[in-house]
Amino acid sequence: MIQPDDFARQAARPRSPPELVMSVVMLRRKRMSMRKIAAQHGLCMEGVRQILLRYSKAQSSAAADAEADAECDDGLMASVRETMPAGHPVSMDAIWTGLERWRRIDETR
């Protein structure tokens, strides 16, 4: 029996346990067709495709999370989290734009 990894556990569903997900992924990595994998496991081809999609989505989300953590750890994001000082030109421009919109709405009534 193939031991499932974390991605297989994330991709698992009630009708497709982690062991089945890992088996499907391993057979696909060996270049077996989805049709043959489906026949071997008693699934439909769409079921195999859905399992592979969920597995790849779990892998890509983990990679994106790791990349986001790496960005936050190097200190580059620290300046983004800070608030703008009072009277900053960008915030003042946004305030005046909003006030002008409200004034136009009031004039049309």
Q: What is the pTM of this model?
A: 0.59
CA-to-CA separations, 18 to 22, 55, 57, in angstroms, rounded:
6, 10, 15
Residue 29 confidence (pLDDT): 93
The whole-angstrom separation of Cα 104 and Cα 109 is 9
pLDDT by residue (tens digit) across 20-70? Answer: 999 999 999 999 999 999 999 999 999 999 999 999 998 888 777 766 665
